[in-house]
Structures are given as structure tokens and as C-alpha cells.
Chain A
Amino acid sequence: MSADLVNRFCAMGCAVATSGDFRTPAAGVLESWEEAFSLFRAESELSRVNASPSRVLHVSQLFSSTLEIALDVAAETDGLVDPTLCGRWTEIVVSAQLLSRPPGLALDLNGVVKALAVDEAAAALDGPGFVSVGGDLAVRGPVDVALPVGGAIRVVAGGLATSGTASRGAHLVNTATGLPSESPWEQVTASGATCLAADVAAKTGFLLGTDGPGWLDERGIPGRFVALDGEVVENPAWAFATEVEQPCM
């Protein structure tokens, strides 16, 4: 994949890079997700849900399935990646297109929306290539990717995502305390079967602190951790996958 064939533009408040000469269909896919889930658009469905005083609401099929995925992610990560940001995700019930939640309990689906949009945009590519939004990417076919603080790997299949404080400061919240997370890591990069899986793994690895590398390794997820002092730690799954075979002497 040559750098000459990369198309760059802005969407979802991030820098977007896609393979190929044209924005579409990736731009259209990203715009449709932003239209539904942006917290910065008063008319988005998520903003309207958060503004509603009702306990039970009728929501769109896309909203319903996205929230179900967000709740699955919260369950899988023991609430570390939580759509309520305050540990109250168990109070949310979604059934078909009906949402029930305590009035006033706001939702923030950014933990999954960007990655799901990247996966859908990559699936919409005409052929081999990639879609990257804010450094989280999904590939169709092998793509080489530069890593934080140097180095590169080849993403053969699935996605790659990086979470941390390097760009936006301490924006990842510890849902147990409601305060910004104090992690020994500055950036965590993880490889997943999808961009969503990679993003969830990177966030969880970051929030778990020193337990992060082990948590990812137990699940066979390659993870690369950049400490606050710049030291790079690779979990065994990452090290094994990126090990360069030495020629036999």
C-alpha cells in the first residue's frame, strides 16, 4: 500500500486516512455515524435521547444495536469501558428498539462508535485497503502501520487502535472513581479482530495499568505499551507476532 494512494480528510473530529483516491464511501459512512451519535450535535439521536426526561424511549435500529454492543463491551471489560461513564451501565435495558434507563442518566457511546464506524467504512471499501480515523484503523488486506514513538508493524487482518493521554490528555475515565484514569502508560496500542476489538483492548489495557499487558495476553491479544517515561513494553502475544525470523546459519 503506497503512501501516494492515501486520501486524507477530517471527520468525527479526527484526521481520517483511507486508501484510494476518493473519499466515498468512507466519508458517507462516517458522516452517518456522526449524525446519529455526536454529542456535539443537538439534533443527533444520542443528544435527543440524553435530553429526554422519559424513562422508556423508542430508538432507531442502529442506536439499539450500537447500545447493545456498548453494553456487551462493558460486561466483557467488567465496566471499564462503560457507556454511562459512571458505573451505572447495568441499569440500562435495551429490548428490540425500546430503551429503558433511569431519567437523567446520560449515555456516551464514543467508546464504541468511532471503532464501529471504522469497521463499517472498511467493509465498504471496493477492494484491499484501510480506513483510519484518528489513528484507529481497520484493514482489508495487509497494511503496514507506523507505531507511537517509532517502529512499524504489518496489520494482516482486523484492526489496530491506540489509546492514551498523548493527544487529548487524561480523557479516559476510571468509572469506579469518576476521575481521569491514572495509568502508568502514556499510550497503549492493541491489535484486534476488528477495529472495535482493538479499540476496546487498547482502552482496557490502558485503564488496567500494570495489569494491562497480562489481561491482553490471557486473551491472545497483542498489545504494545508506551510508559510515561517512554519505555516500550510489548506483551508476549505482540512480541511473538512481530518477531523477525532469523535466517538459518
Chain B
Amino acid sequence: MPVSLPTGTLVAMKGSSRIELARGRARSAKTAIGVLTAVVFGVAFVGAKVHAPGHTKGKAKSLGAPSSFERAVKRSIAQGGQIAPAVQPPPVSSSTS
């Protein structure tokens, strides 16, 4: 006795395959959009970090005397001061300690 398939089965299988293909394309598109978003975010983040004036570019350093002050101190190591004749009784004296 010949086996007969119900009418419309092949059509149903063919329709299911098309849906799977569509789902696959949608999954690929979502993945591509996700990757693209991550890449764009990463590039924008690095770009902002490097170029935006409000973002620090160097490693944070502890506070200390400004380099201009240190240079001034170094420049004045061999530089004379200003003295003049005394005009009143001195409140302090210079001596060896």
C-alpha cells in the first residue's frame, strides 16, 4: 500500500527553511551591529581621551613645587643678593651655627 504524505507537507518544510534562513540573517545582522557599535565606541573613547582638552593625557603625578620654581631656585644658586648700608639697630645677626 503506497504511503501518501499529507497534502502541503513539502510546502510546510520549504516554508520552515526560509524562516530559518531569515532568522540566520537577522542573527548575523544583530551580531554585526553589536560589533560595529563596540568598535565605534572604542574608537570614540580613545579619540576623546587623546584629543579632548578636558581629558588628562598623562599619568597623574603627585603635587610638588612647580618646575618653574625649581628652575628659579637652580638658576639662583650662584646669584648675589641685594645689600646696603644699615640704617637702624639690627634686630637679628648673621653668624655661624
Tell me the A residues contacting B by CB distance below 8 Å: 1-3, 5-6, 14-15, 17, 19, 61-62, 65, 68-69, 72-73, 76, 97, 114, 119, 130, 132-137, 142-148, 152-168, 187, 189-194, 196-198, 200-201, 216, 219-222, 237-238, 241-244
Contact = CB atoms under 8 A, between A and B. Distances in A.
B96 A1 contact: no
A242 B78 contact: no
Contacts, number: 171
Interface string B61-89: 01111000010011011111111111111
B82 A156 contact: yes
B83 A193 contact: no
B93 interface: yes
B60 interface: no
Contacts of B89: 3, 144, 152
Contacts of B79: 192-193, 197, 219-221
Given A61-B63, A62-B64, A65-B70, A162 B84 contact: no
Contact of A159 (B73, B77, B81, B88): B81
Contacts of A201: 78, 80
B84 to A, nearest CB: 5
B81 A244 contact: no
A62 B69 CA distance: 13
B8 interface: no
